[in-house]
Amino acid sequence: MSNISSKEIIIKYVEPKNLQNIFKKREKNSHKGDFGTISIIGGNRGMEGSVLLAARTAIKIGSGKVLIGFTQKNIPITVDLIQPELMLQTANQILKKFLIKIDTWIIGCGMGQNNISNNILHKALSYIENKNIVLDADALNIISEQNTIYKNSSNTIIMTPHPSEAARLLKCTTKEIQSNRIKSAKKISKIYNSWTVLKGFETIISSPNGDILINTSGNPGLASSGTGDVLAGMIGSFLGQSNDIQQAISGAVWLHGKAAEHLASIHKGPIGMTASELAEAAREILNQHSYQN
């Protein structure tokens, strides 16, 4: 990785040559159990698209099995006709029936901040043990109001705030976050004992102990609804496929940006690029990089 030293920190940049635990060929005798069982919790009324985007992405970039747990009383749809591979449940059913089968959780996409989502987040964070949990969107908004929510967790927590969500977590303004993005990401990691992915132009990744990686792939085509859900799906999917947490997170962030660059190169962006197209492009680039030699 290329290093740029400043007085206090060494900044490293995400580079594909350092992502070999993620971009790799599959063993000939592999089976779906090798590639993770992911559950995505969220999708309140009117925001079902958010979990669908994350889940469709996770399966497209290689997860073995993907379940959605809607934060609603009943499932709003019984099958996703675009991606019928997905298993659809309510969040409560997932926590009751599938808890020990799931190795990676993504919680928060379109989850809302009502009683049901609050209750589900509390349950999930107290029931899940020794797993990877990606906390996105409304999970972060809820936590920012009640930050004692997961004290002493045995789980590895990955927080993926955009600048305004980061501002809510740190109780400051979005402008303050943007004026020192590295410091903000490190601070979130320290306070919440988490990996932090501070999204936006040049996404910052901070490890729980404050090591920093910066990603430079991407373009303004990503400034569009649902691209964050796609990123959450990618991070969760790679976490389910590898034990290398740093590579799983940085690989997802890099691939997300690279997919946007690919779409722009074939004139499907940056203007009008959609989150759904991003997942398709990411699959193409992932296969190219994994099978290039």
Ligand X SMILES: NC(=O)C1=CN([C@@H]2O[C@H](COP(=O)(O)OP(=O)(O)OC[C@H]3O[C@@H](n4cnc5c(N)ncnc54)[C@H](O)[C@@H]3O)[C@@H](O)[C@H]2O)[C@@H](O)CC1
Ligand Y SMILES: Nc1ncnc2c1ncn2[C@@H]1O[C@H](COP(=O)(O)OP(=O)(O)O)[C@@H](O)[C@H]1O
Task: Catalog residues that contact ligand Y under the rule CB under 6 A.
Answer: 162, 199-201, 203, 218-220, 222-223, 225-229, 231, 256
Q: Which does 227 bind (CB under 5 to 8 A by kind): ligand Y, ligand X, none?
A: ligand Y
Q: What is the dihedral of CA 184, 186, 190, 196, to 10 degrees?
A: 90
Site string for ligand X, 26-55 (x = CB under 6 A): ---------------------x-xx-----
Strand residue runs (E) in 103-206 = 104-107, 132-135, 156-159, 195-198, 204-206
Of 191 and 223, which CB lies nearer to ligand Y in the complex structure?
223
Full DSSP string of 184-206: HHHHHHHHHTSEEEE-SSS-EEE
Q: Could you tell me the maximum CA-CA distance found in the chain, to the nearest angstrom?
A: 55
Instruction: Look at phi and psi of residue 224 and say left if phi exceeds 0, alpha if psi is from -120 to 50, else beta.
Output: beta
Torsion angle in degrees (nearest 10) through CA of 12, 14, 20, 24: 170
User: Among ligand Y, ligand X, none, what binds residue 49 when CB lies within 5 to 8 Å by partner kind?
Assistant: ligand X
Which of 40, 137, 158, 253: binder of ligand X (CB under 6 A)?
A: 137
Under 8 Å between Cβ of 117 and 111: yes
62 is in an annotated binding site: no
Measured in degrees and rounded to the nearest 5, phi and psi for residue 132 equal: -90, 130
Quote the least distance from Cβ 134 to ligand X, whole Å: 12
C-beta of 35 vs 48, nearer to ligand X: 48
Q: Which residue, 93 or 164, is less far from ligand X as judged by CB?
A: 164
Residues 186-215 that bind ligand X (CB under 6 A): 200
| Closer CB to ligand Y, 95 or 254, in the complex | 254
Q: Tokens at residue 83, please? A: 């991606």
Q: Out of 58, 102, 107, 109, which residue is the one contacting ligand X (CB under 6 A)?
A: 109
> CA angle, 1 as apex, 230 and 197 as ends, to 5°?
30
> Binding site membership for (6S)-NADPHX: which residues?
110, 162, 229
> Binding site membership: which residues?
110, 162, 199-203, 228-229
Contact footprint for ligand X (CB under 6 A): 47, 49-50, 109-111, 137-138, 162-165, 174, 200, 225-226, 228-229
